[in-house]
């Protein structure tokens, strides 16, 4: 701390004024310059897209894009994907530590007891067109949860924050499965609490009242891994949206709903869908080389490649590739045309100077669409699955922000480039 206080960056303006700005160090990652005092000079910084701005301090997730590292609360994503469960990761995210056996069981029981939605909420679905995009339904119905829990949305009360977090983790899978069922016209399935978290979601998605649903453990594990890989990714667009909405004191259901809206955009949550579309268009492995030539000519992009933060292999992509093998083997689809094409494109890219020079590697989305498709998930539900998994990240980041003594309402400034002052001209003189 002492050392941290001694380090400063000195900013000198062209008019000779200067200011010393403290340099702050985190436990990992790049140092940051604390510019909070800059306003004293009557100036702001300009940083569209926040490429050089840390908007908060956080203890939840760490990414090193150059080294290809992703940690949740210090634990490498590969270890969590291999050994942990999604509910355990939820506990870790919310509480900062892995649970012991008793805490794990108590947490699981709590989540399980909140999986049903209020019966009145079911009527919301009838207000949507049957062909409504399930993400539109998610934005609406998750936001509507705030209308049901007036008694527990005092954000300054830690017990209220905890119960809201539990409700969100438990109910978002139910709401997501209902969005799917409404789309297909099949009856809604009530949650079945004898199932684990992921099994229960698969049951609500793929089960029907006509027959017993027997979850396949290999496929359950695959989906569990997808959820773990997508649980959080530090201050991305949707998480920043949740924090910004929450900074005004808005209730957590409304904040998560705003996160779902941000995730819906194709540049954020829609890339795995775009990968499948691309593979469909290529059509056959024999056309892979020709397609890649078009990528290098900048006619189109290789979807599922490249990342704003990762400039080496996205650690989630390797886990996802392995999961892809496991799922396709289990379903006896090893020769899956899409998967073979994806492997071929990856091999070409990893050896090609265009991709090597630009540090373009597969990201998590390159293989996740193939896994989801093999599981029988329709493409319009891909982003919904992402939203389900990311709910724990949003809720944890929101809780952290509310408990932070340095919390302020989010209020970026701007570089104004509009008209200077002018007088109103009556319409007959324009
Ligand atoms: N295919 C071909 N060329 C690419 C690709 C790609 N997928 N991605 C980047 N490039 C090239 C650009 O043309 C540019 O080349 P140039 O230097 O000759 O002009 C260079 O690499 C840098 O590209 P930028 O767009 O500046 O990189 P940025 O970091 O801003 O973009 C992004 C990252 C948006 C993810 C980009 O790589 C991309 O569009 N990828 C495809 C879409 C995708 O997979 N998105 C999912 C991201 S992961 C997620 O959201 C969960």
To the nearest whole number, what is the mean pLDDT of the chain? Answer: 93
Distance CA 219, CA 323 (A): 9
Q: Assign 272 a pLDDT band (cuts: 50, 70, 90).
A: confident
Of the residues 150, 365, 423, 428, which is catalytic? 365
Quick one: DSSP state of residue 188?
P
Residue 5: pLDDT above 80?
Answer: no
Residue 336 falls in the annotated catalytic set? no
> Which tens digit of pLDDT belongs to each residue from 327-337?
999 999 888 88
Residue 365 falls in the annotated catalytic set? yes
Helix or strand run (H / E) with residue 32? strand 32-33
Ligand 1 geometric centre to CA of 427 (Å): 48
Distance CA 176, CA 386 (A): 11
Residues with beta carbon inside 6 Å of ligand 1?
Answer: 268, 271, 295, 301-308, 358, 360, 363-365
What pLDDT was estimated at residue 141?
A: 97
Using a pLDDT cut of 70, give the percent of the chain over it.
99
> Which tens digit of pLDDT belongs to each residue from 90-128?
999 999 999 999 999 999 999 999 999 999 999 999 999
Q: Which two tokens stand for residue 222?
A: 């695959």
Residue 133: pLDDT above 80?
Answer: yes
By most ligand atoms within 8 Å of CB, the mutation choice from 61, 263, 306 for ligand 1 is: 306
Q: How far is CA 405 from CA 156, 160, 163, 423, in A?
A: 12, 18, 21, 44
What pLDDT was estimated at residue 269?
A: 85
What pLDDT was estimated at residue 274?
A: 87
> Which tens digit of pLDDT belongs to each residue from 374-421?
999 999 999 999 999 999 999 999 999 999 988 899 999 999 999 999
Determine how β-strand 69-72 pairs with β-strand 61-64.
antiparallel
What pLDDT was estimated at residue 68?
A: 93
Q: For residues 220-227, give the mean pLDDT.
A: 96
Q: By alpha-carbon position, which residue is closest to atom 29 of ligand 1?
A: 308
Alpha-carbon Rg for the chain, nearest whole angstrom, is 24
Residue 1: pLDDT above 70?
Answer: no
Of the residues 160, 307, 336, 353, which is catalytic? 307
Reported pTM: 0.93
> Which tens digit of pLDDT belongs to each residue from 20-61?
999 999 999 999 999 999 988 999 999 999 999 999 999 999
Ligand 1 geometric centre to CA of 122 (Å): 41
Distance CA 279, CA 157 (A): 49
């Amino acid at each position: 701390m002492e050392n941290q206080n001694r380090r400063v960056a000195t900013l000198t303006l062209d008019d000779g004024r200067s200011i010393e700005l403290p340099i702050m160090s985190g436990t990992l990652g790049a140092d940051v310059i604390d510019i909070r005092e800059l306003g004293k000079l009557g100036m702001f910084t300009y940083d569209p897209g926040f490429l050089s701005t840390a908007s908060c301090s956080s203890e939840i997730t760490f990414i090193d894009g150059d080294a290809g590292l992703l940690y949740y609360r210090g634990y490498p994503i590969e270890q969590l994907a291999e050994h942990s469960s999604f509910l355990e990761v939820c506990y870790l995210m919310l509480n900062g530590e892995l649970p012991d056996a008793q805490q794990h069981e108590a947490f699981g029981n709590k989540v399980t007891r909140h999986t049903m939605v209020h019966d009145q909420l079911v009527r919301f679905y009838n207000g949507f067109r049957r062909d409504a995009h399930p993400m539109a339904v998610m934005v609406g119905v998750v936001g509507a949860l705030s209308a049901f829990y007036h008694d527990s949305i005092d954000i300054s009360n830690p017990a209220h924050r905890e119960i809201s977090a539990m409700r969100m983790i438990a109910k978002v899978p139910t709401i997501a499965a209902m969005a799917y069922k409404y789309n297909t016209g099949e009856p809604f399935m009530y949650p079945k609490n004898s199932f684990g978290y992921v099994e229960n979601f698969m049951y609500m998605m793929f089960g029907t009242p006509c027959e017993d649903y027997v979850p396949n453990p290999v496929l359950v594990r695959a989906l569990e891994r997808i959820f773990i890989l997508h649980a959080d990714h530090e201050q991305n667009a949707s998480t920043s949206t949740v924090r910004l909405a929450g900074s005004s004191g808005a209730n957590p259901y409304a904040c998560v709903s705003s996160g779902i809206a941000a995730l819906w955009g194709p540049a954020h949550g829609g890339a795995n869908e775009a990968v499948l579309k691309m593979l469909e268009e290529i059509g056959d492995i024999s056309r892979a080389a020709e397609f890649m030539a078009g990528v290098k000519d900048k006619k189109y992009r290789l979807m599922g490649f490249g990342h704003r933060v990762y400039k080496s292999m996205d650690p989630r992509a390797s886990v996802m590739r392995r999961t892809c093998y496991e799922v396709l083997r289990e379903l006896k689809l090893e020769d899956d045309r899409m998967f073979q094409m994806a492997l071929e494109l990856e091999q070409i890219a990893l050896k090609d100077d265009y991709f090597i020079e630009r540090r373009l590697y597969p990201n998590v989305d390159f293989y996740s669409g193939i896994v989801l498709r093999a599981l029988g998930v329709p493409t319009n539900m891909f982003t919904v699955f992402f939203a389900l998994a990311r709910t724990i990240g949003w809720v944890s980041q929101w809780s952290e922000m509310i408990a932070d003594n340095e919390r302020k309402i989010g209020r970026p400034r701007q570089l104004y480039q509009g008209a200077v002052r002018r007088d109103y001209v009556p319409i007959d003189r324009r």
